[in-house]
Structure 1
Amino acid sequence: MSKNALVTGGSRGIGRAVAERLAADGMTVVLTYANDAASARETVGRITAAGGTAHALRADFGRHGDAAALWTAYDALGLDGVDVIVNNAGIGMPVPLGKVTEEEFDRVFAVNVRAPFFVVQEALGRLRDGGRVINVSSGAARLAMPEILAYGATKGALDTLTLNLAKALGGRGITVNSVAPGIVDTDVNADWLRGNPEALAHAASLSALGRVGEPGDIADVVAFLASDAARWVTGRVVDATGGSGL
């Protein structure tokens, strides 16, 4: 029986790479997008062209009832349960301490922490025993970065969620892990990273491996955690920063 995977925020960047990799591994992939329907269609098209199966659903995270609405739409696709959940959807907030508003604070926690929590809660009756939950965290959870401290706090909370979910779901053979990327060359970072040799060189220098991460670097780690080879790994944060901050 083929496996089903849900990848939130799967239309671009890391999410797209994860969706394509899991589809290449034989899974039927359901990816979500917030606003960029064209990119979502493109990702589905890329997967289909490569011989895989994928569906795209719009999911507006950050509002009460968002997770329930997502799973209602998922069920309408006629899929029998889910085997892998990748909580990748998230928003950044490059705002320093003195300028963070209460509304911004609430928004970033609603999308980055509350949504993954309830995506898993709403999935409990759908998630098969032996399944996988993978939360996309960030190196910002372990490094002091005051310029994005509220964002970093959400990822620290997500890692704590990972730890507790691993204990809560372990009796069903379900593993739960976080993957923590560093700087990755995606559209989110394009404005300051691409076309700026100095910024690129600085970003690369932060990694022990001397380069900026690529979406595929993260997707490969997620694919490992989603596989049977990672059956004995749970409750962990897997650093995928290329050795940043060593």
Structure 2
Amino acid sequence: MTDQKKPQQEFFSDKKPVTEWPQFKLTGPLADILIENRRIVKSGVLGQLPADVPIEKVVEDYHNFLDKQVEEVELNDQLDDAIVLKPMEVEIRKLAANALKDYINAYLRSHLLYSEEWVQYDKHQLQILGSDHAKEVEWEEFTEEELARNAEKEKQKGKGTKKDVTPKYERKLKRFIAKKKYEPAKYYGFSHLLRLICNFHTLVVTAEYEEGAQQIILPGVQQFVDYITKNWPKFHEKSTNGSGP
């Protein structure tokens, strides 16, 4: 009797079907939403900004739901593990959801938008911040911890093996921070959140995150995915918002 190989299950990223996807998989209606959104955007139809339910609101709804878990046992069947959550577990799951929002704010344009959406993003950013926002900055010195961490990273790359003889006063580098910040999570919606989830594991792995932070964030993201999989109609309407941000 010959062994029969189990057929690979097919999942979808935001670009095309794939047979392997690290950590996070979208199935059922979420995969359909992602595929349909890509088709519509590629046809030249873009949703209006802000979305009916921005990503920030989705995260806020999840936070509120988690808070209720501590108080209301009857809501437990909506969670994947059907247990009463401890306060620390609630905070960890909130941290993971916040990480998704932070990544949207930091990487939406560079990693998640289709080329057809770049002009809309730039125009909306200009509309929100104004034309002079880049000139309004304030300067901040790197902390000693950040300087030490950066030096260690350079050393690991083979660039900082020699003794650093730079005078201390020259090591106090500064960075500028814009006073006004464009936060896409306030304006973009569910379909863009799904794009991030598909790519989030790769983003976290390639980002310079502490290993401990990865261990906290990644499992927490899966809990968030489970929640929106069960509650997606609250955040997206296929028939009327298929092209929405």
Per the normalisation by structure 1, the TM-score is 0.23
Q: Which has the higher helix share?
A: 2
Q: Relative contact order (alpha carbons < 8 A, sep ≥ 6): 1 or 2 greater? A: 2
Q: Which has the higher strand share?
A: 1
Larger of the two Rg values belongs to structure: 2
